[in-house]
A and B are shown apart, each in its own frame.
Chain A
């Protein structure tokens, strides 16, 4: 099974500053026949289900602010929040859907 590892486990960022979260998969999640990375990102706030932010590694979900962006390919991926807002305080998860679904352990983003 593919193991997803996020870094860091937690991150404190000032309002308006950039937040960067990394996600590494133990195996390649790029499907060569369609050149798509089977990688999604979610945001979860306390007491709520996860909210989809990004899929296919870099496609933003409808309604998600453009300060959220995803990048990377193969085994290494990044979620960037370009200018942190107070409402972005949450836990962020990456998920691969190349094989049996698996999630990273989560990265907690807090205000500095």
Chain B
């Protein structure tokens, strides 16, 4: 069965960077997109960007452009999301989710990671 397992909780200081991983199993990693979304405490979900796990092409939300980098390691079937210049407002649970196919557009999500809490605090 499809599984997405994310790395553990992180505590970072303002101005630092964080890198969250998402290890996929149960399907051919390079045949699907991986999306990253986040959810601040008590808030709704916010889409950050996606990566074509096959060729590594990425697309980011304008809100996070310049601060977020999504990469993948096909040998490890793992996608990564790095967010830089962290501020307190970036405190949130970060989720990876598998796309419907490789393209990454017009997506809803059957499969989600368990979430990774990132806390930004001085």
Q: Which residues of A contact B (CB under 8 A)?
A: 38, 40, 49-50, 52, 55, 61, 93, 95, 97-98, 100-106
**On chain B, which size bracket covers the interface?**
10 to 19
Contact indicator A104/B44 (Cβ below 8 Å): yes
Name the CB-closest residue of B to A41. Answer: B108
Q: Which residues of B contact A (CB under 8 A)?
A: 35, 37, 43-47, 61, 95, 97, 106-110, 112-115
Contact indicator B47/A106 (Cβ below 8 Å): no
Cα–Cα, bound, A101→B60 (Å): 11
Question: For residue A61, which residues in chain B have a CB less than 8 angstroms away from its CB?
Answer: 110
With known contacts A100-B47, A104-B44, A49–B115 Cβ distance under 8 A: yes
Question: For residue A103, which residues in chain B have a CB less than 8 angstroms away from its CB?
Answer: 44-47
Cα–Cα, bound, A104→B47 (Å): 12
Contact indicator B108/A52 (Cβ below 8 Å): yes
Name the CB-closest residue of B to A6. Answer: B44
Can you name 20 A-B residue pairings with CB atoms under 8 Å? A38-B106, A40-B108, A49-B112, A50-B45, A50-B109, A50-B112, A52-B108, A52-B109, A55-B108, A93-B44, A95-B108, A97-B106, A97-B108, A100-B61, A101-B47, A101-B107, A102-B47, A103-B44, A103-B45, A106-B44
Name the CB-closest residue of B to A31. Answer: B106
Cα–Cα, bound, A102→B106 (Å): 11
